[in-house]
A and B are shown apart, each in its own frame.
Chain A
Amino acid sequence: MTRTLIPFGPQHPVLPEPLHLTLDVSNEVVTAAVPVFGFVHRGLERLVERRDFRQMIQVVERVCGICSTMHALCYCQCLEELMAIAIPPRARYLRVVWAELHRIQSHLLWLGLFADSFGFESLFMQCWRIRERMLDLNQATAGNRIIPAVNVIGGVARDLGGKAQGQILTTLEALERDTGRLAGTLFEDATVRQRTSGKGRLTGPEAYELGAVGPTLRASGVAQDVRQLGYAAYGELEFAPVVESDGDCLARTRVRYREIAQSIALVRTALERLPAGEIAVPPGARKPHGEAIGRVEQPRGELLYYVRADGSAHLTRLRMRTPTFANAPTLGAMLPGVELADVPVILLSIDPCVSCTER
């Protein structure tokens, strides 16, 4: 038995962002894994000292490029709570539309990266080709491919007219067809199953005890999704979380794959029921005062914001607990006992977002 310490990352072909794992390996089998961060830490939480609470929307949107809309949504919900603003019904539905479109592109990005982690390059390219449709849609409906800056305190900054709604529905139809074609490869292909089935198993009680969130939690059989609380318009859209029970890499893939179909359905229903009226309430000269917690279900799981304000233009504290920060401890339970060659696949299966984690 030879014990070896292997530094995995921060530069590794499988990692789109720098993350380091110190792997304790004995005869090709991992016995312990400790995550190390700090390669892209920016200290964004302290920017509240220099940017006023309105400017902070632009800051939080840039915490992460892949879930920017969700950060802004969570932040705006906190501020609306502190400023006692009830947003118009149309804005609540539009927030659902953009949040779910955002989830679709994030899950497709992940599916591609995940395929890349086990060396399936053509599957990676197919997923990202399909994702391009969503980025084009972002540009058409929100003006930006990556950061659709739609959330403002009091509602949304853009409306969706008939033409834009038609564009969304047409794109979703094509997306449904394209993602449908991926199912055979993702779930039936022998080589994919070999790399994902039974790998990185996490039981329900383990996932819950370790504070896991999002697809990482739901793939282990725990039906918990912040959207169940009904923020924005989710309470009126008959939402039920997607759950799988195997707790392995394949189950986590299934959850995200099924969530794409669920998001398509949510967008369609939200557009069908889109109420007429205003899209925002101007906050006027009101300033936030007090402490609030906001929670949103990001593509990677529960995002939690804590905001403290004293009635001035600058918040006194902004704290973001991002989903990858909550999911990172699960690696310590998933990795011991696995072969070294499976580490990249299992690491990618939690959909790690290092920008979010390091803020």
Chain B
Amino acid sequence: VTDTIMTLANHIRVAPDAMVAEAARLKRQGYRLVALTAVTGAPEQLDVLYHFDRELRLEHRRVTLPLGAALQSITAVYPAAFLVENEIQEQFGLQFSGLEPNYQGRLFLDHDSPRAPMAPAASGEAARHPAPSSSAAGDSASNEGA
């Protein structure tokens, strides 16, 4: 109907270790960072989508990596990415290296929140409804290691 609605058919796959260089290339071409989106796709895998735009035309990059892997932060190229990278880090458990400032899992979550609530491992009923008393001790213990 209009070109506002962009399907993701036009995304380009990028290897995890090439994403910072790709972001730097797009920035040189005048692209603005719009957002990052983490999506759990195939089992044990996480997709991170990078959305950029120039004169309102969107460009998407897709990085696929195994759950629990680390990804280089793009904050050296786009400093404003710190908020969304911190969000993905705490919600999906994906560690960003070189992330500054690093909220250490305390951007939106609290010390007694479920850990990485959007990660596939957390989709069980237990993680969705943590028992208020019994799991609190476990959560705070595991948080100390973070």
Contact = CB atoms under 8 A, between A and B. Distances in A.
Contacts of B40: 317
B142 interface: no
Contact of B79 (A210, A229, A293): A210
B98 to A, nearest CB: 17
A36 B108 CA distance: 8
A209 B33 CA distance: 8
A128 interface: no
A268 to B, nearest CB: 22
Given A38-B106, A293-B6, A209 B80 contact: yes
B2 interface: yes
Contact of A306 (B4, B49, B55, B108): B49
Contacts of A209: 32, 78-80
A275 interface: no
B58 interface: yes
A38 B7 contact: no
Contacts of A290: 7-8
B83 A208 contact: no
A86 B3 CA distance: 13
Nearest to A77: B5
Q: Is the interface of B mostly helix, strand, loop or mixed?
A: mixed
Interface string A69-90: 0000000011011000011000
Interface string B9-36: 0000000000000000000000011110
A87 B56 contact: no
B80 A210 contact: yes
A231 B83 contact: no
Contacts of A319: 37-39
B84 A306 contact: no
Interface string A225-256: 01011110001000000000000000000000
A226 B83 contact: no
Interface residues of B, number: 38
Given A38-B108, A291-B8, A321 B34 contact: yes
A209 B32 CA distance: 6
Given A38-B109, A321-B37, 16 more contacts: A36-B103, A36-B107, A38-B106, A38-B108, A41-B108, A77-B5, A209-B32, A210-B79, A210-B80, A229-B56, A306-B35, A306-B39, A319-B37, A319-B39, A326-B35, A358-B108
A308 B39 contact: yes
A231 B118 contact: no
Interface string A9-36: 0000000000000000000000000101
Contacts of B110: 38
Contact of A81 (B7, B83, B84): B7
B108 A208 contact: no
7 contacts: A80-B5, A208-B32, A293-B8, A304-B34, A306-B37, A317-B40, A326-B34
A78 B79 contact: no
A78 to B, nearest CB: 7
Contacts of A342: none
B123 interface: yes
- The CB with the most chain A CB atoms within 10 A, among B2, B49, B58, B82, is that of B2
Contacts of B7: 81, 290-293
A290 B41 CA distance: 12
B59 to A, nearest CB: 11
Contacts of A116: none
A224 B49 CA distance: 23
Interface string A36-53: 111001010110010000
